[in-house]
């Protein structure tokens, strides 16, 4: 880590917090990193770093010079905290692993996490708080809305649209020009060949709706 005085508060000391820290560490952007977690003070460290407070307590003291990253996998919970930070006008960090391949015209929203091995192709936009997880492949001209999670190994062809807070499960495939609505769950390993309506849960090959 270099000494440019930036500090990063990672909110959420769980598995997602661990990988976010890995990403922050390797990006060399931060002088120091610490966690905020709702289990504080019962839990006081994670990955060898201190958990210094709960998010609510810490943010109410509004210390200066800190970037925030919300490391919570649940899309709705991540949305809520990111929106709180944005409303308070604190900086929301975007973490991009150096071993991700991101085309130079890709637009990436604040609070996004781009994990190693992922490939994001030209013309794609990623909204606020999006997770592009390990080895996900997002091809050209995709529109990935705010607080979407593309799980490890997902493969999205060209021109795919994914609505806010949707989750595309591990290893799922989405063919070209498909529109997935908001708050959708695409099951692990699914193959999506038709548009998916908002709030649906779809599984299988080809993907079909199951009861929510």
The verdict on 185 binding ligand ACO (CB under 6 A) reads yes
Set 46, 97, 140, 194: catalytic member = 140
Q: Give the residue among 1, 20, 136 at the shortest CA–CA distance from 70.
A: 20
* Least distance from ligand ACO to the Cβ atom of residue 190, Å: 6
DSSP designation for 76: H
The verdict on 210 binding ligand ACO (CB under 6 A) reads yes
What is the C-alpha to C-alpha distance for residues 104 and 106, in angstroms, rounded to an integer? 6
Q: Give the residue among 37, 82, 44 at the shortest CA–CA distance from 58.
A: 37
Q: Give the residue among 138, 143, 145, 152 at the shortest CA–CA distance from 166.
A: 145
- Contact pick of 23, 95, 112, 170 for ligand ACO (by CB under 6 A): 170
65 is in an annotated binding site: no
What is the C-alpha to C-alpha distance for residues 6 and 4, in angstroms, rounded to an integer? 6
Give the other-Cβ count within 10 Å of 154's Cβ: 28
46 is catalytic: no
The verdict on 206 binding ligand ACO (CB under 6 A) reads no
* Least distance from ligand ACO to the Cβ atom of residue 100, Å: 15
CB 146 within 8 Å of CB 127:
yes
- Contact pick of 111, 129, 153, 187 for ligand ACO (by CB under 6 A): 187
The verdict on 1 binding ligand ACO (CB under 6 A) reads no
Give the other-Cβ count within 10 Å of 133's Cβ: 22
Site for ligand ACO in 102-161 (CB under 6 A): 133, 151-152
Active site residues: 140
As annotated, the binding site for acetyl-CoA includes 149, 170
As annotated, the binding site for substrate includes 73
In the complex, the residues that contact ligand ACO under the rule CB under 6 A are 133, 151-152, 169-170, 185, 187-189, 201, 203-204, 210
As annotated, the binding site includes 73, 149, 170
């Amino acid at each position: 880590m270099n000494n440019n005085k930036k500090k990063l508060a990672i909110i959420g000391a769980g598995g997602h917090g661990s990988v976010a820290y890995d990403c922050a560490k390797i990006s060399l952007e931060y002088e120091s990193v610490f966690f905020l977690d709702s289990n504080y003070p019962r839990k006081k460290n994670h990955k060898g770093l201190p958990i210094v407070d709960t998010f609510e307590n810490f943010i109410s003291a509004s210390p200066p010079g800190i970037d925030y990253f919300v490391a919570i996998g649940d899309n709705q919970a991540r949305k809520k905290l990111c929106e709180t930070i944005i409303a308070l006008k604190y900086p929301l960090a975007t973490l991009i692993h150096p071993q991700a391949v991101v085309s130079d015209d890709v637009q990436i929203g604040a609070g996004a996490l781009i994990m190693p091995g992922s490939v994001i192709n030209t013309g794609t936009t990623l909204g606020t708080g999006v997770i592009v997880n390990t080895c996900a492949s997002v091809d050209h001209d995709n529109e990935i809305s705010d607080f979407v999670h593309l799980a490890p190994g997902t493969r999205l062809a060209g021109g795919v649209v994914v609505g806010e807070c949707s989750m595309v499960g591990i290893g799922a495939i989405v063919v070209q020009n498909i529109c997935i609505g908001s708050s959708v769950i695409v099951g692990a390993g699914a193959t999506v060949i038709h548009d998916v309506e908002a709030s649906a849960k779809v599984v299988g090959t080809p993907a079909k709706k199951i009861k929510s």
